[in-house]
Amino acid sequence: MTKLTSLSDAISTHIEDGDLIYAAGFTHLIPFAAGHEIIRQNFRNLVLARATPDLIYDQMVAAGCARKVIWSYMGNPGVGSLRIIRGAVERGDLEWEEYSHYGMITRLQAGASGLPFLPMNQVGVQDLEQVNPLIKRIPDPYGGKDVIVVPALNPDVAIVHVQRADENGNAHLWGIIGEQKEAAFAAKKVILTAEEIVDESVIRSDPNRTIIPDIIVDAVCHVPFACHPSYAQGYYDRDNEFYLEWDKVSASADAVNAWLEKWVFRINDRSEYERNLGEATINRLKVKPLMSKSINYGDY
């Protein structure tokens, strides 16, 4: 059953003020288009969870969408600080909750599994455990050392960008797959954005590649170039210049507001964003093909 819809409808239908959102993608396939649509629709009091908030959450916090951020690495990857979130935290203007990457992804894995919690081995340091009461320790019932546990994280909505999906929401993704699967299975609702909508037969030609199945997907949106300034493996490159530029923009509230006006509020959708980027940028981010070798499933 087709779930194809516009991104704007998907966001307005499935997200509510106050929701816990997990926009997935570890450094790759970051759903910037959906983040911008959330800003454009003026959502408030969201709890934004991501291993690495990256620029997208910095922008959403700047726009006033969030009351809290949950992270395991709050930086501008390869550049430095996320100035907006960092500033809000230092001023006491934003709640936060913090894990190591492993703790964060373990919370999602527990959520995806339908388990109340999952264990991790001890790491020596206890400082994070002491400032985050959700991190606990329990005995090993088999007589070993105590283990550390974290509770399941079950976001209200996961937003996952993929390279190709059919209109029902069966999705192929590749390259860095990060926590895409875990976030999708953990969430109560899943909004999928995709570089390409393909026929179901493309998905069925390689079922081992299907990481997200239609049965957990609520909306499918065709949004090419949705990840800029992050990237989609095989489709376009990371726009490192933008990551450097944001470091400058985010140093001034006025510059941030001007940026949001120009790149989010004054435009209607992602295709307008892409047009505004211009051909020079788009060409700079293009990538030459490098194809995988095929495999034989056999016609049984």
By CB under 8 A, residue 251 contacts other proteins: no
CB under 8 A: which stretch of 1-9, 11-19, 45-53, 147-155 binds its own copies? 147-155
Residues that bind its own copies (rule: CB under 8 A) add up to a total of: 47
133 binds, among other proteins, its own copies, none (CB under 5 to 8 A by kind): none
* Residue 169 burial (10 A CB sphere; 0-12, 13-18, 19+): buried
The four Cα atoms 232, 155, 213, 103 give a dihedral, to 10 degrees, of 70
By CB under 8 A, residue 176 contacts other proteins: yes
Q: How far apart are CA 94 and CA 97, in angstroms?
A: 10
> Which residues inside 207-246 make contact with its own copies, applying CB under 8 A?
208-209, 233-235, 237
- 227 closest CA partner among 64, 2, 24: 24
Asked if 23 contacts 239 with a C-beta cutoff of 8 angstroms, the reply is no
By CB under 8 A, residue 265 contacts other proteins: no
In the complex with its own copies, the residue whose CB is nearer, 13 or 121, is 121
- Provide the minimum distance between the beta carbon of 143 and its own copies in the complex, in angstroms, as a whole number: 9
Q: Extract the runs of DSSP E, i.e. beta strands, from 40-188.
A: 46-49, 66-71, 75-76, 80-81, 95-98, 117-120, 136-138, 147-151, 157-165, 171-172
By CB under 8 A, residue 74 contacts other proteins: yes
Asked if 100 contacts 51 with a C-beta cutoff of 8 angstroms, the reply is no
- 228 closest CA partner among 21, 36, 11, 48: 36
CB under 8 A: which stretch of 31-39, 70-78, 267-275, 276-284 binds other proteins? 70-78
CB under 8 A: which stretch of 21-29, 45-53, 154-162, 282-290 binds its own copies? 282-290
- Provide the minimum distance between the beta carbon of 89 and its own copies in the complex, in angstroms, as a whole number: 26
- Which residues make up the interface to its own copies (CB under 8 A)? 114-121, 136, 138-142, 144-145, 147, 149, 151, 163, 172, 174-175, 177, 202, 205-206, 208-209, 233-235, 237, 287-300
